[in-house]
Amino acid sequence: MGALTPEEVHGAALLGERYEAHLALLSFGPKRGRDAELARSRQELFAAGRECLYLGLPTIGSDTAAVLRQAARQGFLGDPLLVIGPEALIAYGLAAGSRIGQAFPAGAPLELLDGPEDADTAAFDVLMTVYGGPYRASRGRAGPVRNPAGHEVRLHRPDPGTEPEGAKWLLGGRTVARDAVSVEGIPAPIVAPDPRTFAVRKL
Protein backbone atom coordinates (compact mmCIF):
# COMPACT_ATOMS: atom_id res chain seq x y z
CA MET A 1 0.00 0.00 0.00
CA GLY A 2 1.27 3.48 -0.86
CA ALA A 3 0.27 6.80 -2.37
CA LEU A 4 -0.27 7.00 -6.11
CA THR A 5 2.22 9.11 -8.02
CA PRO A 6 0.97 12.23 -9.85
CA GLU A 7 1.33 10.31 -13.12
CA GLU A 8 -0.81 7.45 -11.80
CA VAL A 9 -3.47 9.84 -10.51
CA HIS A 10 -3.55 11.57 -13.90
CA GLY A 11 -3.73 8.24 -15.74
CA ALA A 12 -6.64 7.00 -13.65
CA ALA A 13 -8.49 10.31 -14.03
CA LEU A 14 -7.91 10.35 -17.79
CA LEU A 15 -9.28 6.82 -18.09
CA GLY A 16 -12.44 7.82 -16.22
CA GLU A 17 -12.93 10.96 -18.31
CA ARG A 18 -12.51 9.16 -21.62
CA TYR A 19 -14.71 6.26 -20.54
CA GLU A 20 -17.53 8.61 -19.56
CA ALA A 21 -17.12 10.57 -22.79
CA HIS A 22 -17.28 7.37 -24.84
CA LEU A 23 -20.40 6.18 -23.01
CA ALA A 24 -22.01 9.55 -23.65
CA LEU A 25 -21.34 9.19 -27.38
CA LEU A 26 -22.87 5.72 -27.38
CA SER A 27 -26.01 7.03 -25.68
CA PHE A 28 -26.76 9.67 -28.31
CA GLY A 29 -29.04 7.35 -30.25
CA PRO A 30 -28.48 6.49 -33.93
CA LYS A 31 -24.77 6.14 -34.62
CA ARG A 32 -25.01 6.61 -38.40
CA GLY A 33 -22.73 9.40 -39.54
CA ARG A 34 -20.72 9.33 -36.32
CA ASP A 35 -18.50 6.36 -37.13
CA ALA A 36 -15.34 8.47 -37.30
CA GLU A 37 -16.12 10.20 -34.01
CA LEU A 38 -16.82 6.91 -32.27
CA ALA A 39 -13.67 5.33 -33.69
CA ARG A 40 -11.56 8.25 -32.47
CA SER A 41 -13.17 8.08 -29.04
CA ARG A 42 -12.52 4.34 -28.87
CA GLN A 43 -8.88 4.81 -29.81
CA GLU A 44 -8.42 7.50 -27.16
CA LEU A 45 -10.10 5.28 -24.57
CA PHE A 46 -7.90 2.29 -25.33
CA ALA A 47 -4.84 4.54 -25.29
CA ALA A 48 -5.79 5.66 -21.77
CA GLY A 49 -6.20 2.01 -20.79
CA ARG A 50 -2.76 1.12 -22.13
CA GLU A 51 -1.29 4.04 -20.19
CA CYS A 52 -2.85 2.67 -16.99
CA LEU A 53 -1.24 -0.70 -17.71
CA TYR A 54 2.11 0.99 -18.39
CA LEU A 55 1.85 2.86 -15.09
CA GLY A 56 1.15 -0.40 -13.27
CA LEU A 57 -2.26 0.57 -11.92
CA PRO A 58 -4.30 -2.33 -10.47
CA THR A 59 -6.15 -4.47 -13.01
CA ILE A 60 -9.12 -6.83 -13.02
CA GLY A 61 -9.77 -9.97 -15.05
CA SER A 62 -11.32 -9.70 -18.51
CA ASP A 63 -14.41 -11.75 -17.59
CA THR A 64 -14.99 -9.67 -14.48
CA ALA A 65 -14.62 -6.49 -16.53
CA ALA A 66 -17.13 -7.78 -19.10
CA VAL A 67 -19.73 -8.50 -16.41
CA LEU A 68 -19.27 -5.07 -14.83
CA ARG A 69 -19.56 -3.28 -18.18
CA GLN A 70 -22.74 -5.19 -19.00
CA ALA A 71 -24.21 -4.46 -15.56
CA ALA A 72 -23.51 -0.75 -16.06
CA ARG A 73 -24.91 -0.84 -19.61
CA GLN A 74 -28.16 -2.32 -18.33
CA GLY A 75 -28.38 0.22 -15.52
CA PHE A 76 -27.95 -2.27 -12.67
CA LEU A 77 -24.45 -1.47 -11.42
CA GLY A 78 -24.71 0.54 -8.22
CA ASP A 79 -28.43 -0.12 -7.81
CA PRO A 80 -28.90 -2.86 -6.88
CA LEU A 81 -25.61 -4.55 -7.83
CA LEU A 82 -22.52 -3.66 -5.81
CA VAL A 83 -19.02 -5.11 -5.98
CA ILE A 84 -18.10 -6.62 -2.60
CA GLY A 85 -15.07 -8.68 -3.59
CA PRO A 86 -11.39 -7.66 -3.68
CA GLU A 87 -12.02 -5.44 -6.72
CA ALA A 88 -13.76 -3.02 -4.35
CA LEU A 89 -10.33 -2.31 -2.89
CA ILE A 90 -9.23 -0.93 -6.26
CA ALA A 91 -12.08 1.59 -6.19
CA TYR A 92 -11.29 2.57 -2.60
CA GLY A 93 -7.62 2.98 -3.44
CA LEU A 94 -8.26 5.13 -6.51
CA ALA A 95 -10.72 7.27 -4.55
CA ALA A 96 -8.14 7.77 -1.79
CA GLY A 97 -5.23 8.31 -4.16
CA SER A 98 -3.46 5.24 -2.84
CA ARG A 99 -2.54 1.77 -3.98
CA ILE A 100 -4.74 -0.56 -1.90
CA GLY A 101 -5.79 -3.16 -4.45
CA GLN A 102 -3.30 -4.78 -6.78
CA ALA A 103 -3.74 -6.99 -9.84
CA PHE A 104 -6.11 -9.92 -9.48
CA PRO A 105 -5.76 -13.20 -11.39
CA ALA A 106 -7.63 -13.23 -14.69
CA GLY A 107 -9.86 -16.06 -13.47
CA ALA A 108 -10.58 -14.68 -9.99
CA PRO A 109 -14.27 -14.86 -8.98
CA LEU A 110 -16.38 -11.71 -8.95
CA GLU A 111 -18.50 -11.12 -5.84
CA LEU A 112 -21.69 -9.10 -6.27
CA LEU A 113 -24.28 -8.00 -3.75
CA ASP A 114 -27.73 -8.29 -5.34
CA GLY A 115 -31.14 -7.09 -4.19
CA PRO A 116 -33.48 -8.82 -1.72
CA GLU A 117 -34.63 -12.36 -2.40
CA ASP A 118 -38.09 -11.25 -3.52
CA ALA A 119 -36.83 -8.57 -5.91
CA ASP A 120 -36.18 -8.95 -9.62
CA THR A 121 -32.78 -10.53 -9.94
CA ALA A 122 -30.64 -7.96 -11.71
CA ALA A 123 -27.61 -10.23 -11.61
CA PHE A 124 -29.51 -12.95 -13.45
CA ASP A 125 -30.42 -10.56 -16.27
CA VAL A 126 -26.82 -9.40 -16.58
CA LEU A 127 -25.22 -12.83 -16.44
CA MET A 128 -27.53 -14.26 -19.08
CA THR A 129 -26.66 -11.53 -21.60
CA VAL A 130 -23.00 -10.72 -20.96
CA TYR A 131 -20.50 -11.47 -23.72
CA GLY A 132 -18.90 -14.85 -23.06
CA GLY A 133 -22.02 -16.11 -21.27
CA PRO A 134 -24.53 -17.20 -20.48
CA TYR A 135 -23.63 -17.90 -16.90
CA ARG A 136 -25.51 -20.79 -15.36
CA ALA A 137 -27.80 -19.09 -12.87
CA SER A 138 -31.37 -19.33 -11.66
CA ARG A 139 -33.66 -16.68 -10.27
CA GLY A 140 -33.99 -16.40 -6.54
CA ARG A 141 -30.94 -18.46 -5.62
CA ALA A 142 -27.72 -16.91 -4.40
CA GLY A 143 -24.44 -18.72 -4.86
CA PRO A 144 -21.67 -19.23 -7.40
CA VAL A 145 -22.54 -19.29 -11.09
CA ARG A 146 -20.16 -19.91 -13.99
CA ASN A 147 -19.91 -19.16 -17.68
CA PRO A 148 -18.78 -21.76 -20.25
CA ALA A 149 -15.15 -20.70 -19.76
CA GLY A 150 -15.38 -21.38 -16.03
CA HIS A 151 -15.35 -17.79 -14.75
CA GLU A 152 -17.24 -17.66 -11.46
CA VAL A 153 -19.55 -14.98 -10.11
CA ARG A 154 -20.63 -15.25 -6.49
CA LEU A 155 -24.00 -13.68 -5.78
CA HIS A 156 -24.85 -12.43 -2.30
CA ARG A 157 -28.11 -11.07 -0.95
CA PRO A 158 -28.60 -8.80 2.06
CA ASP A 159 -29.60 -10.70 5.18
CA PRO A 160 -30.35 -8.22 7.99
CA GLY A 161 -30.57 -11.06 10.48
CA THR A 162 -26.88 -11.87 10.08
CA GLU A 163 -25.45 -8.34 10.29
CA PRO A 164 -23.36 -7.51 13.40
CA GLU A 165 -25.29 -5.77 16.18
CA GLY A 166 -25.25 -1.99 15.84
CA ALA A 167 -24.17 -2.08 12.18
CA LYS A 168 -27.58 -1.35 10.66
CA TRP A 169 -26.86 2.37 10.35
CA LEU A 170 -23.92 1.61 8.06
CA LEU A 171 -25.80 -0.48 5.54
CA GLY A 172 -27.19 1.11 2.41
CA GLY A 173 -24.94 4.17 2.69
CA ARG A 174 -22.99 5.97 0.00
CA THR A 175 -21.16 4.11 -2.73
CA VAL A 176 -17.69 4.52 -4.21
CA ALA A 177 -17.47 4.45 -8.02
CA ARG A 178 -14.24 4.39 -10.02
CA ASP A 179 -13.11 3.07 -13.40
CA ALA A 180 -10.43 0.40 -13.59
CA VAL A 181 -8.86 -1.53 -16.46
CA SER A 182 -8.84 -5.19 -17.36
CA VAL A 183 -5.61 -7.06 -17.93
CA GLU A 184 -5.99 -6.13 -21.62
CA GLY A 185 -6.31 -2.44 -20.83
CA ILE A 186 -10.07 -2.26 -21.48
CA PRO A 187 -11.90 -0.07 -18.95
CA ALA A 188 -14.66 -1.26 -16.64
CA PRO A 189 -16.60 0.52 -13.88
CA ILE A 190 -16.49 -0.59 -10.26
CA VAL A 191 -19.23 0.51 -7.86
CA ALA A 192 -18.59 -0.61 -4.29
CA PRO A 193 -20.41 0.06 -1.02
CA ASP A 194 -19.19 2.48 1.62
CA PRO A 195 -15.82 1.13 2.85
CA ARG A 196 -17.27 0.75 6.35
CA THR A 197 -20.12 -1.32 4.93
CA PHE A 198 -17.58 -3.43 3.05
CA ALA A 199 -15.68 -4.02 6.30
CA VAL A 200 -18.86 -4.98 8.16
CA ARG A 201 -19.78 -7.52 5.50
CA LYS A 202 -16.33 -9.07 5.68
CA LEU A 203 -16.46 -9.58 9.46
Domain definitions of the chain by residue range: 58-201
DSSP H helices in the chain: 6-26, 35-55, 62-73, 87-96, 122-127, 195-201
Per-residue pLDDT of the chain (203 residues; tens, 9 = 90+): 678 899 999 999 999 999 988 888 877 766 666 788 888 999 999 999 999 999 999 899 888 999 999 888 888 898 888 999 889 999 999 998 887 756 566 667 898 888 765 555 677 778 777 766 677 655 445 567 888 788 888 888 776 666 555 555 455 568 999 999 998 999 999 999 888 777 776 65
Q: Which residues contact 91 (CB under 8 A, 6 or more apart)?
A: 83, 101, 176, 177, 178, 180, 190, 191, 192
Q: Which residues contact 136 (CB under 8 A, 6 or more apart)?
A: 145, 146, 147
Go through the chain and tell me how many residues it has: 203
pTM: 0.84
Residue 144: the pLDDT is 78
Residue 99: the pLDDT is 79
Residue 128: the pLDDT is 78
Residue 75: the pLDDT is 86
Residue 172: the pLDDT is 58
Instruction: Give the phi and the psi of residue 64 in degrees, each rounded to 5.
Output: -60, -45
Q: Alpha carbon of 42 to those of 36, 38, 47, 50, 178: distances in Å?
A: 10, 6, 8, 12, 19
Cβ distance 124 to 74 under 8 Å? no
